[in-house]
Structure formats: C-alpha cells, structure tokens
Structure 1
Amino acid sequence: MLYAGIAWGAGGYEIEVVGADGATAAPRARFGADRVADMAGHLRGLGPELTTVVESTNGILDGRLMAAGLTVFRADPPLLPPRPGFGSVPAAEIARAAAGAPSALARLIRTRGTQTGREPELAAWIEGTASEVARLTAEGRLLSHGGRDRKEIALTFDDGPQPGNTERVLDVLERYGVPATFFCVGMNARAHPDILTRMREQGHGFGNHTWSHPFLPELTRSQLTEQIERTQEAIAEAAGGPAPTVFRPPYGSRTPEVLGWLAESGLTTALWDVVPDDWAMPGADAVARTVLDQARPGSVVLLHDGGGDRSQTVEALPAVIEGLLGRGYRFTLVDEMTARVDEPARTAVPAA
C-alpha cells in the first residue's frame, strides 16, 4: 500500500509518497494550481494500491481527484502536527501520519465532499451562531438574502474558477444577459486570471471564498486573516479591479468567534437562502426544481462552478434562469444587495 500526502501552499501543491512503513516510495512532485489534471494523472500512474490523502484545510481538490477515478481520504487535525501560519501541514507529514494510522482517515464520498463524516460537527457549529447571525444581519454586516419587497434574485457560484466548468457557466450567463457573483478561491483565482478577466468584462461580481477552502473554526485568527488577505489580493490582481467587499465561509462553517473576526475584517459575510446542493450531483432537473421551488423575492442562490464535475449545474442553469424570468424576477449582484441600492436591479433578457 502506498500513501500520497498532498500539501498546498501559495503556488500550488506538493506530493510525497510513502509505503506502509513510512519510508519514501516515490520522488517528490510539485504541481501548480493550474495543473490539477496533470496531478491527477500523476497520482493514477502510481498504481491501484494508492491511498490519496488531503488534510482538512484543502477543500477544493478532492472532488476533482475523485472525478478522475482516485480514492481520496481526509486527515484531520488530531492526526497531524500543527499547521504553519499559511499553507498546510507538509506533504511528507500527511503521508506518514496516514501510513501510521490508516483507520483514522476519513474516506471521502463524491456526493458528500470534503465534509464527509463531519456533517454533525458542521451543523453544530452553524446552529450555535443563530443569535450572532441575527445581530450581524441587523447591523448590515451579514446577508442571507436581500429585501423581500423587491422581486430580484442573486445567482452565486462558489469554488472556482475551474477551467471548463466556469467558462460554460459564463457562456450561459452571457447568452441570457444575467449578472452573477462568483465567490472565488484564491488559489484558483491566481492560477486562472484570464477567467476572472472575462467575469469582469461581462459585468459579474466577485466574492472572497478563502485561499484553500478550509473549515474556518479550525483556523486561528492569524491563519484566517492570511487566507482572506491573500485571496483579496489574488482576485483584485486577476480581475483588474477592486478587491471584493463580500466573503462567503466555506461550507457555511462558522462560530460566533469566527463571525466576529469576519465582521472586524470589514467584509460583509454573504450566506444564502436557496441551496439545491448541486455539488452533490442530484441531477440537473433536481437542481433546477429546487431553485425554483425555494426562490423568493430577495433570494441568494448557492451554486458551484468549481471543486469537481459541475456539468449538472451548467445543464440546470438555463431552466433556472428561464423559470425565474417567467415569474418576473430580475437578477442582481450580492454586493448590490448589501449596499441596498435604490435603482432597479439589472434586467435579464431572454436568450436569442
């Protein structure tokens, strides 16, 4: 059995492979964040007995690796040494920890993602923030939806940009003249600036979705600050405009303390009220039906353009847009909702 530990850093990924005895079994390999497909091919080439292991601050890679046919496991903090201020635990440490305690790993399921096995913990974190969410909403520092008196909708897309998926989403949005907000992962934004340029040119908005998609309650304040600030810089540089004013926590993960840190950062936390779980791939029809069933005036719709196979999202998008247009909805950006602009939201036009 071989164990491949994958670490992330500012520029991309590093892989270390060890055997069951913890001894190095293959040369170290490095891949930029723009070479995930090449990395998946490299891992497949190591043979069928490979256990691929990410750690829990690396939440954007497992879906793409599983889509490529790899078996992926997650190593959580109790199994690993402390993380640095920015970046993951070193790849060799991840691989050796996995080899030393394989039963402590969580095997990830494609329809559940990086959160596999941690859903109860995540739900408890979120439930414990109800009063803080209400307070920050009243202060204008957190948004779950816009005003219910305006028949407008904000479409949002998380975890990209991801080549292929994101361009196809942009094609659909361009065809209908619909603006959307893209909550970008910093590592992906830095790797694919051309896609962010197109987003800006089409009039879309940007949000910060951290550098590596971690569970926020696992981070120290300084680690969270590094994630946010580096992503702000990456998005502004890639898009050629100002840094985002809105932030979305990965998985919605939060505690009262984390929400306090986010409020003090000056960013508005953007949640959602329509969630079709498109990342779990329930089928394009199910995605569209859920959005249309849940949508209300002021709704914020959570969709995904990155993190794995998003073909169902792309396929569902025309039905979502046409269904909402047919009900008289207009489309707006999240930061326009947070600013409470008085002018009418931009009106979409039917596709030719």
Structure 2
Amino acid sequence: MAYAGISWSSSGYEVAVLGSDDGALRPTTVFAPRRVEDLISYLRGLGPELFTVVESTNGILDGRLMAAGLVVHRADPRLLPARPLFGSVPAAALAEAGRRSPHNLTRLVRTRGTQTGREKEIDSWIASSTDMLARLDRDGLALSHGDRDRREVALTFDDGPLPPYTGQVLDILERYGVPGTFFCVGMNARAYPEEVARMREQGHTVANHTWSHPMLPELDHGQLREQLERTQDALSEAGGGPVSRLFRPPYGARTPEVLGWLAETASQVVLWDVAPDDWAMPGADTIAGLILDSVRPGSVILLHDGGGDRSQTVAALPAVIEGLLADGYRFVTVDELARPHGTGQPALATG
C-alpha cells in the first residue's frame, strides 16, 4: 500500500508518497498547473492500491483524479497541522494522515466531489447566512438572480479555464453571439492565460472563483484575502485590463462572517437560481432539460467549464441557447443583469 498526499501552492501541485512504514517511498515531486495529466499518470503508475489524499482547500483537482480511476480521500482540518497563509498543508502531512488514520478520512464520490459527506454542514452554513445575504443584496453586494420583470438570463461557467472544454464553450458562445460570465479559478487562470485572454477578446465577463476552490468557512480572514487577491492578479495579468469585482464562493458555501469579509473587499457575491448539476454528468439532454424547465426572467444559470470532464456541458449548450432564444430570452452577462432597473450601467463598477 502506498499513500500519496497532494498539496498545492502558487507554483502548482506537490505529491509526497509514503509506504506503509515511516520511510519515503518516492521523492517529493512537483507538477506545474498545466501538467495535471502528468500528475495523474504519475499517480496511476504507483499501483492499483494507491491511497490518495487531498484536503478541503484543494477542490479543483479531485474530479479529474477520480475520472482517471483514482481513489481519492479528503483529510479534514482536525487531522492536519495548521495551514499557511497561502497554500495547503504539506503533501507529506497529507500522505501521513492517510497512512496513520485512513478510517478517519472521507472517500470522495465523483458525483459529490470534495464536498462528499459535508452536505449537511454546508447547508447549515448557508442557512445561517440568510439575513446577511439579504442585507448584502439590498446594498448591491450580492445577487442570486436579476429582475424578474426583464426577460434576460445570464449563462455562467465555473472552475475553468480548462482545455479543451473552455475553448469549446467559447466557440459555441461565439457562434450564437451570446455573452457569458466565467468565474475562474486562479490556479487555472495562471496555467492557461490564453483562454482568459480569449474570454476578454470575445466580450465575456471574467470573474473570481478563488485560487484553489476551498471551503471558505474553513479559512481565516487572511487566507480568504490571499485567495481573492492572487486570483484577481492572475486574471488581470491574463490578457491585461480590469477584472470584474464579481465573486462566486465555491460550493456556494458561506457564513455571516465570510460574507462580512467579502463585503469589506467590495466584491459582489454571485450565486444562482438554476443549477442542473452538470458537473455530476447526468447527460447532455438532462442538463439542457433541467435548465429549460427551471429558467425564469432574471435567472443566473450555473454551469462548469473546468474541474473535470465537461463534454456533456458542451454538448448541452446549443440546445440551451436555442431553446431560450426561441422562448424570447436575451442573454446578458451577470454585471448587465445586476444593473439597476432603467439604467444601462452595471450595479457595481469593475476595476
């Protein structure tokens, strides 16, 4: 049995592998963000009994690992040393957590991802934030949907950029002349700046979805700030120019404290009211059908262009666009959707 811990930092992913005893089985190996396929090949080469461990601030990698047939476990904070200001706990600490107490770790399910087993906890966090979210909505600092009197909808895409899916989504949007809003993960934006630059060139909104897709309620104030600021920098550098202050929390997870911190940054928290769970890959027809059955004027539609195999999302997109156009909807970006009624200006300036 081998135990592989995968950590992340500004430079990419680090893999530490331990055997069943205390000795290192292999030297620590570092993979740049563009080399995830090489990382997967490396792990698969360690044998079928590999026990792979990530932690909850690394929420963008597990889907790709599981799609490759790897068994992935999550180690929660109570089992780990304290995290640094930016980055996860060391890869060796994650591998050791798997070797020392494998039964205390959660085996991830592909249809639930890093949130596996934490659904009730996330629901509790969200429920506790209802009043704070309503207050931010009144102040123009939160949005779940736009004006119900305007027959407009916003297509949004999370977790990218990730070739080839981001490019395929952009091809479809360009073909139909439809704008989108892309909530990008900083690590992926740093890896694929050409994809972000193309989003800008086509007139789409580029927005922040954290650096590593963490559970925000587990971060302290400084760690949250680093996630946002480093992602803003990566997005600004990719193609140049200002970056929207729109922000989408991973998993929609928030607490009143987290929302208060986000308000301090003048970020506008963007949620959604239509979510076909395309990341769980229920089938392209199911994805399209769920969207077309659920959309209302002002809807914010949650889709994904990264984090795993997004071929079903790509396949569903033309039917979604054609169906909504036929039903008299106009597509807008989220910042257009957020503009006050009767104005042509977004509710929140970008910069």
**TM-score of the alignment, normalized to the shorter chain, above 0.5:** yes
Shift of 1:243: 2.0
User: Is this contact kept in 2: 1:245–1:335, CA < 8 A?
Assistant: no
Shift of 1:251: 0.1
Shift of 1:244: 2.1
Partner of 1:303: 303
1:70 matched to 2:41? The reply is no
Shift of 1:344: 10
CA distance in 1: counterparts of 2:14 and 2:63, whole angstroms? 18
Matches within 5 A, 1:180-191: 180-191=180-191
1:261-300 deviation line (CA, Å, top 9, x unaligned): 1011111000111111111111111111111111111110
Matches within 5 A, 1:41-60: 41-60=41-60
TM-score by length of 2: 0.96
User: Is this contact kept in 2: 1:20–1:100, CA < 8 A?
Assistant: no
1:282 matched to 2:282? The reply is yes
Shift of 1:241: 1.5
Read off the aligned partner of 2:190 and give its amino acid letter. R
Q: Secondary structure at the match of 2:87?
A: coil
Partner of 1:137: 137
Partner of 1:342: 343
1:193 matched to 2:185? The reply is no
Q: Secondary structure at the match of 1:226?
A: helix
1:147-200 deviation line (CA, Å, top 9, x unaligned): 111110000000000111111111111111110000000000011000011111
1:20 matched to 2:20? The reply is yes
Partner of 2:219: 219
CA distance in 2: counterparts of 1:344 and 1:13, whole angstroms? 41
Read off the aligned partner of 2:73 and give its amino acid letter. F
Partner of 2:228: 228
1:309-330 deviation line (CA, Å, top 9, x unaligned): 1111011101100010000101
Partner of 1:8: 8
Read off the aligned partner of 2:263 and give its amino acid letter. A
CA distance in 2: counterparts of 1:239 and 1:213, whole angstroms? 22
Read off the aligned partner of 2:18 and give its amino acid letter. V
User: Is this contact kept in 2: 1:182–1:206, CA < 8 A?
Assistant: yes
TM-score by length of 1: 0.96
Partner of 1:330: 330
1:102-133 deviation line (CA, Å, top 9, x unaligned): 00111111111110111110111111111111
- Return 5+ residue gaps in structure 1 as ranges: 346-352
CA distance in 1: counterparts of 2:344 and 2:224, whole angstroms? 35
User: Is this contact kept in 1: 2:281–2:312, CA < 8 A?
Assistant: yes
Partner of 1:293: 293
Q: Which of structure 1's runs of 4+ aligned residues deviate more than 6 A?
A: none
User: Is this contact kept in 2: 1:236–1:244, CA < 8 A?
Assistant: no
User: Is this contact kept in 2: 1:156–1:180, CA < 8 A?
Assistant: yes
Q: CA RMSD in A?
A: 1.2
- Return 5+ residue gaps in structure 2 as ranges: 347-351
Shift of 1:20: 1.9
Read off the aligned partner of 1:111 and give its amino acid letter. T
Q: Secondary structure at the match of 1:315?
A: helix
| Length, aligned pairs only | 345
Partner of 1:166: 166
Partner of 1:203: 203
Matches within 5 A, 1:103-118: 103-118=103-118
Shift of 1:68: 1.3
1:191-221 deviation line (CA, Å, top 9, x unaligned): 1000011111111101100000000000000
CA distance in 1: counterparts of 2:239 and 2:82, whole angstroms? 34
User: Is this contact kept in 1: 2:152–2:337, CA < 8 A?
Assistant: no
CA distance in 2: counterparts of 1:92 and 1:193, whole angstroms? 30
How many percent of aligned residue pairs carry the same amino acid?
65
Shift of 1:22: 3.1
Partner of 1:242: 242
1:317 matched to 2:304? The reply is no
Read off the aligned partner of 1:180 and give its amino acid letter. G
Partner of 2:254: 254
Partner of 1:348: none
